[in-house]
Amino acid sequence: MLLHDLTIAALAALLVYAVIIFNGLVMLKNGVTKAWSNIDVLLKQRHDEIPKLVEVCKAHMQFERDTLERVMLARAGSQAARSRGDVQAVAQAEGALRGGVGRIAATVEAYPELKANQSIMQLLARITALENAISDRREFYNEFVNNNNIRVGSFPDVIVARLFGFRPAVPLEFPPEDLRDVDVRALFRG
C-alpha cells in the first residue's frame, strides 16, 4: 500500500511540475507574440508616414527619384514579410528602408530649400521617433525570444515543449551595416 501511495504521489507531483512548465512556456510564447505585435504596430505607423514623406519630397527632389522608388520598394517588401510573419525578411527589408530614409534625410540636410520645408522636417522627425521606438521594442522582443528559446531548449522543459509543439522563436536582428549611421559624405561622392 505504501508503494502504491508513493507512486501516486510521485505521479501527481510530476503532473503538477509538467503543468507549471507548460504554463511558463505559454506565458513566454504569448510574451513573444505581444512583443512582436508592439513592433508591428510601430512598423505600420512608420510605413504610413513614409508615403507622405515621399510625396512631399517628390515635388522638391526631381533628381532623387531613384532613392524615393527604392524606399517605396523596401516598404512594400517589409509589409509583405510582416504579413507572412517572416522576421528575418522583415529585418532585411527594414534595413533597406532605413538606409533609404537615411539617404532622404541626408539630401534634405544638404539642400536649404528642403530643410526649410516644415512638412518634410516634421515627417522626418516622426519617422526618426518611430525608428527609436522600434529599436527599444526590438530589444524587448529579443529578450522574450531569448527567454523562450532557453526554456524550449532546456531540460526538462524541452520534453514538455516538444510534446505540446512549442518552438524556438526568431530574434529580430538587423545586419550591422544597417545599424550604422548614414555616411552623408559618401552619399554625395557617389
Domains and CATH numbers, the chain: 24-189 (1.20.1440.20)
Contact indicator for 169, 149 with CB cutoff of 8 Å: yes
- What DSSP assignment string belongs to 53-101? HHHHHHHH-GGGHHHHHHHHHHHHHHHHHHHHT-HHHHHHHHHHHHHHH
Give the DSSP per-residue string, 92-151. HHHHHHHHHHHHHHHHHHH-HHHHT-HHHHHHHHHHHHHHHHHHHHHHHHHHHHHHHHHH
Please identify every stretch of the chain with a pLDDT value under 70, giving residue numbers as ranges: 59-64, 176-190
Q: Whole-angstrom Cα distance, residue 103 to residue 157?
A: 47
Residue 65 has what pLDDT?
A: 75
CA 152 to chain centre: 21
User: CA-to-CA distance for 75 and 156, rounded, in angstroms?
Assistant: 42
pLDDT for res 155: 95
pTM: 0.77
Residue 14 to residue 181: CA distance in whole angstroms? 53
Angle at 150 between CA 149 and CA 156, to 5 degrees: 115
Between the CA of residue 14 and those of 6, 32, 113, what are the distances in Å? 12, 27, 71
pLDDT of the residue at 11: 94
Calpha distance 101→38 (Å, rounded): 22
Whole-number pLDDT of residue 130: 92
- Please report the pLDDT score of residue 136 as a whole number: 92
